[in-house]
Structure formats: structure tokens, C-alpha cells
């Protein structure tokens, strides 16, 4: 046999006992996005590398350290998507969605993303994100709507220990004023910081505040806060977002140090954290914010946007920590047991008939004895069992046995599906 091949590091299989949970979450996503009128968009899993360099920002950790980039056979540089927003905005521009009569264009996506990082709990190299983008409006009410959609999804699957953290990154003018203050603050002692931060000082000093290595440096605690540099317009915008959240009854905490890891954010920035016990150090479930300028950066007209992305894996982890059960698998309705070859042929036809009527049915494909097949029916949680043998073949009737009660009733071959359908409707 040689060495067994395993899944690549940082990837995993979703096995059948888990996939029901995924399906339930995905169904909730579709249902919720329908209620909010967000329409699904599906973009390619790989894009031109330049899209992420321009869209995500070439000083970000994602672009400098975490991208899966490869040359294709035509010597083009392609990258597996590390996040969803840049792709959605590229599509928005390329397909001229800014020309649609109804703005903002409200979109959602769900699918795998790829980042080369050290795998840890809830952080994988291939992970699945659900995200929302509303592009084409700079109304603070849409910020509140996007945040409420994220909160609503967590609540709808049964999570309770949630904390919404909010900040404003201000407009360009506020950002520049704050940036100058940061440079002034860090520059005299920048040699005490890691090499990444030394690079960030010139390119993007805001990212220093996000540094994992130097977070305990005394200068971090005293760094000038963006809140002190918000101009009147940015402050007014932020106040409106908070007013709309209050109107929705959504509680939030203001954190002046919250910066998002991507270059394109401005104004509203938010994260949703899990306060569940035992969640570990990284408690962020969802992050998002406003990006007025990304559409222009990617060649489109001015179209302000806001969105969020959440990891489905982290959502599942939070459910586990709060001990919330979802995705109970669908049990089998009918198990048909055949005693000989002639009966097996007939049983096979009956199973098809049942399935055609929307009844889940199964049988044995390994030639086991009656007792072993009964055990199998039990393990699969079958609601009914039918045994087919010479007697049944001769009479054209079967005994339909209800597993929960042990009750049996005699039913003609042609009536099996109808009888079960009737029983199901009575139960409901």
C-alpha cells in the first residue's frame, strides 16, 4: 500500500455526520438574505494576483505573507482568493452593476477562501466564508442593516453570547490627520518594534496598532486614538450609525482601537465576538466595515460600499462552546428487507416507488441475514420496516411494521407509498 495520502495541512473533510450542520447554516443564510433582499453572487475561486494587491492592499499581512499564488501555463500570476470583497467588487465593476436602476446593489456570497498561515483552532488554510456586500449607498442606515443581518444570523442558529464592537475609521481627511499623529508618536522609538512595524510606519502606520508581536509595548497604550481625529462629518456619520443600531435594539461596545486588517476600510468598522467560555484567544466571529473608494480603486465609478465576512468554521466552534445542537440528521423512513432473489427484485422496485413519492427508503446491499438487516434498520432509525419473502410475493401484500410501536398492518404492494404518506400527514 505504501504511505497513505492525507489531506493537506490546514484543510479538513466535512464528514456526513457534520455536513447536516453546514446544510442547516447554509439554509439559514439563504432564508435570511431573502428576507433582507440580498442576492447571491458566485465569483471564481482564483483571480489575477493584481486584484488582491490592489484591492486588499500590498502592505497587508494577507498579501505579503498569506496568499496562495501560482503562475499558470500562460505565465500569468493567479491567486486563490484569500477573501471575498475584492472579487465581488471586481465583478460589480466588470459587469457594470453600478448601472442598475436600483442602488445599492445588495449581494451575498458563500464559499472557500485560502490563506497560508499557521493552522490553529478555527483558523484553517482553506476555510469557508459567508459575506455580504451592499454597494452604491453612503447612507448610515445601510451600515446598520448590514450589521443587523450578521447579528440576526448568529441569533437564528441559537447563539446568545455575542458582543458587537464598533469603531469609526473616519473619512480620508480624518485618516490623514490621525496618520500624521501616529507617525509622530511611533517614529522616535520605532527601532524598539518588530521589522514589520518598522516597514508599516512609512507605508501604513495604522497597522502597527494591529501588531501581534508588539502589542504590549508601552507606546501602544498611549498611541493617539482615531476618535480624537474624526472631523465633524465623520463624527456625524458615526452618530447616525449608532442611532440606527439603537433603533434596532442592537447593543454595541465602542472600541477606539479596533482597526480592520485590510487597507480599504473607512468610516464604520465592526467585529462580532463570542463571549462563550473556552473559546480561546481569538474570539472574533465576524468582521466588516465600510469601504468608500474600493470600487474606484478597481476602475469603477464612485460607489461607496459596506460589508462583512464571517467564517462558518468559527460559527460552528461557537455553537459547540455554547452547546447548541443543530443539523440533526434526517432519519430513514422505510427499510425494505428481502429474503430471496425474487423478493429482492420486487423490493428494488418498491423502493423506487417510495422515493418517487418523496419517502426516503433503503435496503441491504451486502446479502446479510434477516436479523442483521433488522439491526441495520434500527441503527439507521427507520420509521417503518417491510419484510418481503415468498409469502408476500404470493399474496401481493406486505406487513408494514412501525418500529416505534411494533404495530403492523397489512398493505397491498401498490398501496405502500399512499399508506405511509397518509401516516406522515397525520403525524404532522
pLDDT tens-place string over residues 13-40: 999 989 999 999 999 999 999 999 999 9
Predicted confidence (pLDDT) per residue in 222-267, tens digit: 888 888 889 999 999 999 999 999 999 999 999 887 876 566 678 9
Cell numbers found for residue 329? 440528521
Residue 108 DSSP label: E
- The pLDDT value recorded for residue 242 is 97
CA angle 195, 286, 108 (to 5 degrees): 115
Residue 428 DSSP label: -
Could you tell me the pTM of the whole model?
0.87
- The pLDDT value recorded for residue 226 is 81
Residue 1 has pLDDT above 60, yes or no: no
CA distances from 256 to 173, 207, 226, 233, 269 (A): 17, 14, 7, 17, 10
pLDDT, mean of residues 375-397? 94
- In sequence order, which ranges of 120-223 are alpha helices (DSSP H)? 140-156, 172-186, 195-203, 218-221
- The pLDDT value recorded for residue 260 is 64
Residue 223 DSSP label: S
- The pLDDT value recorded for residue 213 is 84
Q: Are 278 and 321 in contact (CB under 8 A)?
A: yes
Q: Provide the percentage of residues in the chain whose pLDDT is more than 90.
A: 71
76-85, 120-129, 244-253, 352-361: which has the minimum mean pLDDT? 120-129
pLDDT, mean of residues 147-152? 98
- The pLDDT value recorded for residue 301 is 95
For residues 211 and 216, what is the distance between their CA atoms, to the nearest angstrom?
A: 10
CA distances from 141 to 99, 186, 239, 255, 358 (A): 22, 36, 11, 20, 44
Residue 296 has pLDDT above 80, yes or no: yes
pLDDT, mean of residues 321-332? 87
- The pLDDT value recorded for residue 179 is 84
For residues 313 and 112, what is the distance between their CA atoms, to the nearest angstrom?
A: 11
- The pLDDT value recorded for residue 182 is 86
- The pLDDT value recorded for residue 334 is 96
Q: Are 111 and 92 in contact (CB under 8 A)?
A: no
β partners of residue 362: 335
Q: Are 170 and 178 in contact (CB under 8 A)?
A: yes
- The pLDDT value recorded for residue 261 is 59
For residues 391 and 400, what is the distance between their CA atoms, to the nearest angstrom?
A: 14
Predicted confidence (pLDDT) per residue in 174-201, tens digit: 888 888 888 888 888 888 888 888 888 8
The mean of the pLDDT values for the chain is 91
Residue 405 has pLDDT above 90, yes or no: yes
- The pLDDT value recorded for residue 263 is 62
Q: Which residue has the cell 440528521?
A: 329
Predicted confidence (pLDDT) per residue in 121-143, tens digit: 667 999 999 999 999 999 999 99
pLDDT, mean of residues 92-113? 97
CA angle 84, 86, 90 (to 5 degrees): 120
58-67, 216-225, 324-333, 356-365: which has the minimum mean pLDDT? 58-67
Helix axes 416-427, 341-356, angle to 10 degrees: 50
Cell numbers found for residue 411? 398493505
- The pLDDT value recorded for residue 62 is 81
Q: Are 263 and 200 in contact (CB under 8 A)?
A: no
Q: Are 379 and 332 in contact (CB under 8 A)?
A: no
* 3 state SS of 411: strand
- The pLDDT value recorded for residue 276 is 87
Question: pLDDT band for position 45 (50/70/90)?
Answer: very high
- The pLDDT value recorded for residue 222 is 87
Measured torsion, CA atoms of residues 84, 89, 94, 96, in degrees rounded to the nearest 10: 130
Q: Are 109 and 43 in contact (CB under 8 A)?
A: yes
100-109, 117-126, 146-155, 372-381: which has the minimum mean pLDDT? 117-126
Q: Are 366 and 378 in contact (CB under 8 A)?
A: no
Residue 154 has pLDDT above 90, yes or no: yes
Predicted confidence (pLDDT) per residue in 98-107, tens digit: 999 999 999 9
Q: Are 309 and 299 in contact (CB under 8 A)?
A: no
Amino acid at each position: 500500500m505504501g504511505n497513505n495520502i492525507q489531506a493537506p495541512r490546514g484543510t479538513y473533510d466535512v464528514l456526513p455526520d457534520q455536513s447536516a450542520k453546514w446544510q442547516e447554516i447554509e439554509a439559514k443564510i439563504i432564508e435570511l438574505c431573502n428576507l433582507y433582499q440580498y442576492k447571491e453572487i458566485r465569483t471564481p475561486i482564483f483571480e489575477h494576483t493584481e486584484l488582491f494587491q490592489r484591492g486588499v492592499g500590498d502592505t497587508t499581512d494577507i498579501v505579503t505573507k498569506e496568499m496562495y499564488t501560482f503562475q499558470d501555463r500562460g505565465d500569468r500570476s493567479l491567486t486563490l482568493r484569500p477573501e471575498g470583497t475584492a472579487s465581488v467588487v471586481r465583478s460589480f465593476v466588470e459587469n457594470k452593476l453600478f448601472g442598475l436602476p436600483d442602488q445599492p446593489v445588495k449581494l451575498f456570497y458563500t464559499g472557500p477562501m485560502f490563506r497560508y498561515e499557521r493552522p490553529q483552532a478555527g483558523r484553517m488554510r482553506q476555510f469557508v466564508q459567508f459575506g455580504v456586500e451592499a454597494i452604491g449607498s453612503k447612507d448610515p442606515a445601510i451600515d446598520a442593516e448590514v450589521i443587523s443581518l450578521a447579528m440576526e444570523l448568529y441569533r437564528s442558529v441559537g447563539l446568545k453570547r455575542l458582543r458587537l464592537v464598533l469603531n469609526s475609521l473616519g473619512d480620508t481627511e480624518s485618516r490623514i490627520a490621525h496618520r500624521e499623529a501616529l507617525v509622530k508618536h511611533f517614529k522616535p522609538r520605532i527601532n524598539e518594534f518588530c521589522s514589520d512595524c518598522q516597514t508599516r510606519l512609512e507605508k501604513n502606520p495604522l497597522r502597527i496598532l494591529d501588531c501581534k508581536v508588539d502589542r504590549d509595548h508601552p507606546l501602544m497604550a498611549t498611541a493617539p486614538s482615531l476618535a480624537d481625529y474624526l472631523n465633524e462629518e465623520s463624527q456625524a456619520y458615526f452618530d447616525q450609525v449608532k442611532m440606527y443600531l439603537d433603533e434596532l435594539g442592537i447593543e454595541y461596545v465602542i472600541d477606539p482601537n479596533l482597526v480592520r486588517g485590510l487597507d480599504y476600510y473607512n468610516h464604520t468598522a465592526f467585529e462580532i465576538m463570542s463571549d462563550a467560555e473556552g473559546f480561546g484567544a481569538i474570539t472574533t466571529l465576524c468582521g466588516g466595515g465600510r469601504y468608500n473608494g474600493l470600487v474606484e480603486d478597481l476602475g469603477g465609478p464612485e460607489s461607496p460600499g459596506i460589508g462583512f465576512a464571517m467564517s462558518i468554521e468559527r460559527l460552528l466552534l461557537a455553537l459547540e462552546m455554547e452547546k447548541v445542537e443543530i443539523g440533526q440528521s434526517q432519519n430513514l423512513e422505510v427499510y425494505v428487507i428481502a429474503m430471496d432473489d425474487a423478493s429482492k427484485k420486487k423490493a428494488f422496485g418498491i423502493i423506487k416507488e417510495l422515493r418517487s413519492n418523496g419517502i426516503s427508503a433503503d435496503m441491504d446491499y451486502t446479502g446479510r441475514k434477516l436479523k442483521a438487516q433488522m439491526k441495520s434498520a434500527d441503527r439507521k432509525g427507520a420509521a417503518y420496516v417491510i419484510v418481503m419473502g415468498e409469502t408476500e410475493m404470493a399474496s401481493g401484500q406486505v406487513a408494514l411494521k412501525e418500529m416505534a410501536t411494533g404495530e403492523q398492518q397489512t398493505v397491498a404492494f401498490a398501496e405502500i407509498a399512499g399508506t405511509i404518506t397518509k401516516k406522515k400527514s397525520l403525524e404532522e
